[in-house]
Amino acid sequence: MENIIPAEAAIEKCDACFTDVVADDVYCTNCGYPLKGSDFEQRSFIANRDVIDIDMNDFNNKIKSARNSLYYLAGVFMFVGVINFFIKKDDPDILAYVLVYVILAALFLALGGYSQKKPLACIVSGLCLYTIVQVLAIIDNPANLVSGIIVKIVIIGYMIKGIKSALELERFKKENNIT
């Protein structure tokens, strides 16, 4: 008679992730929680998972700051483009000026958006693009080296921290088998 237990009765919730698990399972199929493990094993699993969450949050916050820098640059270039449009209204090369800024704004916007999926590649590309733009600006007018230097250092700092965190996050995910 014992083996006529209805299927629903054999389902319970995992203590760690609260998904339905089959009561006979040794490990949760969703998160790997040791359902049949000792109290110590179960508590170590939760503690380890919490540490992983804290580390991932830290990496993700730094990546987010780098992403915000990319969006900020998109805004700045758009703003400069619009300002140029009004200042140089009578210049025959006006479209060329404005177009460069609009393209830069679009590139940074795209990199920011796509960094949700590929943070490392996008932040590295963003930093390279920003560096190239700055070098060209300095070649064009050496005074650009010092103008707004603090903002530039902050932006570059956020992006470098973002790159470091994106690298660490990838390694961390590999080590902990997180996909």
Does 45 engage in binding with Zn ion (CB under 5 A)?
no
Cβ proximity to Zn ion: between 12 and 91 the closer is 12
Q: Using CB atoms within 10 A of its CB, is residue 178 exposed (0-12), middle (13-18) or buried (19+)?
A: exposed
* 107 is a contact residue toward Zn ion (CB under 5 A): no
**DSSP for 73-109?**
HHHHHHHHHHHHHHHTTT-TTHHHHHHHHHHHHHHHH
Instruction: Select from 5, 11, 17, 95 the one that contacts Zn ion (CB under 5 A).
Output: 17
SS3 28: coil
Report the nearest approach of Zn ion to the CB of residue 29 (Å): 8
* Residue 43 or 118 with smaller CB distance to Zn ion: 43
- Of the candidate spans 24-32, 79-87, 140-148, 161-169, the one that interacts with Zn ion by CB under 5 A turns out to be 24-32
Q: What are phi and psi of 92, to 5 degrees?
A: -65, -25
- Candidate segments 3-11, 33-41, 116-124, 161-169, binder of Zn ion by CB under 5 A: 33-41
Give the residue carrying structure tokens 């393209």.
Answer: 103
The residue among 30 and 48 lying less far from Zn ion, judged by its C-beta, is: 30
Q: Does 130 participate in binding Zn ion (rule CB under 5 A)?
A: no
Contact between residue 164 and residue 62 where contact means Cβ atoms under 8 Å apart: yes
If residue 22 lies in a helix (H) or strand (E), which one and from where to where?
strand 20-22
Residue 31 or 94: the one with the smaller Cβ distance to Zn ion is: 31
Residue 10: CB minimum distance to Zn ion, A: 16
CA–CA–CA angle 27, 12, 53 (5° rounding): 55
- Whole-number Å distance between alpha carbons of 93 and 73: 24
Check residue 30 for interaction with Zn ion (CB under 5 A). yes
Residue type, 138: I
Q: If binding is defined by CB under 5 A, does position 31 make contact with Zn ion? A: yes
What are the residues binding Zn ion (CB under 5 A)?
A: 14, 16-17, 28, 30-31, 33
